Homo-oligomer: A and B are copies of this chain.
Amino acid sequence: MIQTPYLLFLGDAPDQLAAKVAQGIKDWRPENAVGQFRMDGCKADMGLTDMTLQEAKAAGAKTLVIGVANRGGVISQEWKKVLVMALEEGFDLASGLHNLLRDEADLVAVSQATGQHLHDVRIPEVDYPIANGVKRKGKRVLPVGTDCSVGKMYTGLCLEQAMKKRGMKATFRPTGQTGILITGDGVPLDAVIADFMAGSVEWLTPDNDDDHWDIIEGQGSLFHVSYSGVTMALIHGGQPDALVICHEPTREHMRGLPGYSLPTLEQVRDMALSLAKVANPTCQVIGYAINTQHMSEADAKAYLADVEARLGLPATDPFRFGAETLADALADLT
């Protein structure tokens, strides 16, 4: 568990897109971000107060989160200077970079000397159990996608916001690096050892109040041959009461797999539901979350209307048009 609030490290980001982790924190947990730290030449700006390490410390920040992608496959010496100073000022460090903080001898030495933590959220920090399949209290919803990277994390975060606004008890449960940095906790599922995948999802979504919803971050797709095993573990470890089918309509083939076309919404609905019923016989598909970012507003609305008419359930782009109809459908299940 990463200590909040954060100071967001934007480094020397070449553009706004390079700082998408910081953007996610700013968008979804603004209360977790007391300010931003930018180096010379930084082209990203979260609209937060620029702070020195000392100013952020005084403002209560506990962890410096690397909110930007690194370049050239290394953690540069310029970054290192800031990271070392941050440890010396009493910050923990948190990173989702492929280059692990723990592999940098200088950072390890300073973290040991100062007693500060290095959080590499790509790597599990917990020994997860093997899944036992025992029915847990509380409710769970899982977004499942036609493909990877179709908006499952955003769907989950939008749902959490809409459900809370409606007065429902809801907790977003991250299963990927960005989600973990946003909330400060979660399971880096793609890095979990095969035998413990479903168990890690059970661990992430324990017994809870009868009217509480865990919103589990989805990963991969049952129809994406590289990662379908991860999706399967989410469906069985999460034992969801509800599924939301996620889709990006303009994709020409499965992400990274030129020979593979996307499944239909009906195929994903039927396959995911059949499998989900193994762990939770009462599971239902409650709606469709369509990522319309590459469509005009008119096209997007026509597409959503068509999905609703064809499939008989609410369809929305939760980021563009809100997740209220999906939240309503979940409320009806409680």
Contacts and interface: CB of A to CB of B under 8 A. Distances in A.
Give the number of copies in the complex.
2
Most B Cβ at <10 Å: residue of A229, A237, A278: A229
A278 B274 CA distance: 16
Interface stretch (A2-10, A60-68, A136-144, A186-194): A186-194
Interface in A259-309: 259-260, 263, 271, 274-275, 278-279
Contact of A198 (B132, B192, B229): B229
Contacts of A131: 225-226
A230 B271 contact: no
B222 A228 contact: no
Interface in A132-159: 132-135
A198 B228 contact: yes
B189 A226 contact: no
Interface residues of A, number: 42
A275 B222 contact: yes
A139 to B, nearest CB: 18
A131 B235 CA distance: 21
Given A229-B233, A232-B228, A257-B132, A190 B194 contact: yes
User: Which of A226, A236, A257, A275 has the largest number of chain B CB atoms within 10 A?
Assistant: A226
A239 B260 CA distance: 13
Contact of A259 (B134, B190, B197, B232): B134
Given A132-B257, A226-B131, A195 B191 contact: yes
Nearest to A226: B131
B133 A230 contact: no
A203 interface: no
Interface string A218-230: 0000110111111
A228 B233 contact: yes
Contacts of A97: none
Contacts of A239: 225
Contacts of A189: 194
Nearest to A130: B226
A191 B194 contact: yes
Interface string A196-234: 011100000000000000000000001101111111110
Contacts of A279: 225
Which of A132, A189, A228, A231 lies at the interface centre, i.e. has the most chain B CB atoms within 10 A of its CB? A228
Contacts of A233: 194, 228-229
A223 B235 CA distance: 11
Contact of A227 (B134, B195, B235): B195
5 contacts: A133-B225, A194-B229, A198-B229, A228-B275, A229-B232
Interface of A: 130-135, 189-195, 197-199, 222-223, 225-233, 235-237, 239, 254, 256-257, 259-260, 263, 271, 274-275, 278-279
- The list of the 3 closest CB pairs from A to B, nearest first, reads A229-B233, A225-B236, A229-B229
Given A133-B225, A190-B195, 13 more contacts: A131-B225, A132-B257, A133-B226, A190-B194, A193-B193, A194-B230, A195-B230, A197-B229, A225-B237, A225-B278, A228-B232, A229-B233, A271-B274
